[in-house]
A = this chain, B = another copy of it.
């Protein structure tokens, strides 16, 4: 599996006339090498893919003799070669050694991930030509293989089941925090992980698309409108779904808006069958809301999903992505009336190898 993925980078090396690519993105390192540190926003590992080999660099805290044996590795091995970072031999020493051994002249780096200070150190130390690369790993990851699709599908199915059970527990008096905790407990009790901290937003709180229930005090009342945005992580792969729950009779304003939103989302998913340009899909969906005199939503229409909850392809007005088979992404328009209510409907969809649109989330709308 990693062989195939490393070949994909090596093709990119050839295309971009590079001798190596230095990889810092947490999920790209995981994707290309299988190596994973504990916290995505703490820099504790690096990778380097050359024309001959793939190297992972990390420190003694992660040394695991089973997964990444340090000894007995040669650069002919198919597995990534683990290089131990220590106070005596840090990243720069290791890189200089490999650069010299493999005669690396042009080294690409991830322009959207490398920090200014890292670039600065490289420039002063390495003596190679540093060439900014635009989302190499991210673009490769956007096309999922059968195994990855299977994992996302399974994550979506677990999410559907969770929503099914949670919907039965919704009742007057529950706080947003309690519902969040019920969702998390359900997922963990089944032995899975959450894809992200669930968003549960009641009534006016649902008008804030990225509402954080940790900082709120919402509570379900008779007639409340409840937005639940949640996902499951299954073997590293994520699902994402948003549904609205109405706790009793709603005003015509709310019901009409919901119907408009549902129509817009359904038609947009049908529209993908005909059009492959992300930005057109975004514009199409947005228009179905605004032509009904409802306000445009302040976020993109969708996002790719996989190892990360938000990845390529982006479905937004400024996206340059063209959707292709193997892409998995969400379609999630919303309607938000600040201070009053908000709603969003989100599903995870796949473009199959025979170019059809498949809904991976199936919980009823």
1/0 per residue, CB under 8 A from B, across A284-315: the answer is: 00000000000001110000000001100000
Contact B115 A115 (CB under 8 A): yes
Give the residue of B38, B60, B112, B339 whose beta carbon is less than 8 angstroms from that of A212.
B38
Residues of chain B contacted by A184 (CB below 8 angstroms): 188
Task: For residue A190, give the distance in angstroms from its CB to the closest CB of chain B.
Answer: 11
Number of interface residues of A (CB under 8 A): 54
Contact A63 B208 (CB under 8 A): yes
| Residue A40 is within 8 A (CB to CB) of chain B in the complex | yes
| Residue A186 is within 8 A (CB to CB) of chain B in the complex | no
Main secondary structure of the interface of A (DSSP, over half): loop
| Residue A280 is within 8 A (CB to CB) of chain B in the complex | no
CA distance A65 to B204 in the complex (A): 11
Contact B338 A36 (CB under 8 A): no
Contact A41 B41 (CB under 8 A): yes
Q: A41-B41, A117-B111, A181-B188 are in contact. Are A36 and B212 (CB under 8 A)?
A: yes
Contact A59 B298 (CB under 8 A): yes
| Residue A61 is within 8 A (CB to CB) of chain B in the complex | yes
Task: For residue A82, give the distance in angstroms from its CB to the closest CB of chain B.
Answer: 13
Give the residue of B61, B64, B299 whose beta carbon is less than 8 angstroms from that of A298.
B61
CA distance A309 to B86 in the complex (A): 22
| Residue A92 is within 8 A (CB to CB) of chain B in the complex | no
Near B by CB (< 8 A), chain A positions 77-96 give 86-87
CA distance A113 to B119 in the complex (A): 11
Contact surface of A with B, Cβ cutoff 8 Å: 26, 36-42, 44, 59-65, 86-87, 109, 111-117, 119-120, 132, 177, 181, 184-185, 188, 191, 193, 196-197, 208-212, 214-215, 297-299, 309-310, 317-318, 338-339
Of the A-B pairs whose beta carbons lie under 8 Å apart in the complex, a sample of 22, sorted by A's number, is: A37-B210, A38-B197, A38-B212, A40-B40, A40-B41, A41-B41, A59-B298, A59-B299, A60-B297, A61-B299, A62-B209, A63-B298, A63-B338, A64-B208, A87-B318, A112-B117, A114-B115, A114-B116, A115-B116, A116-B116, A181-B188, A184-B188
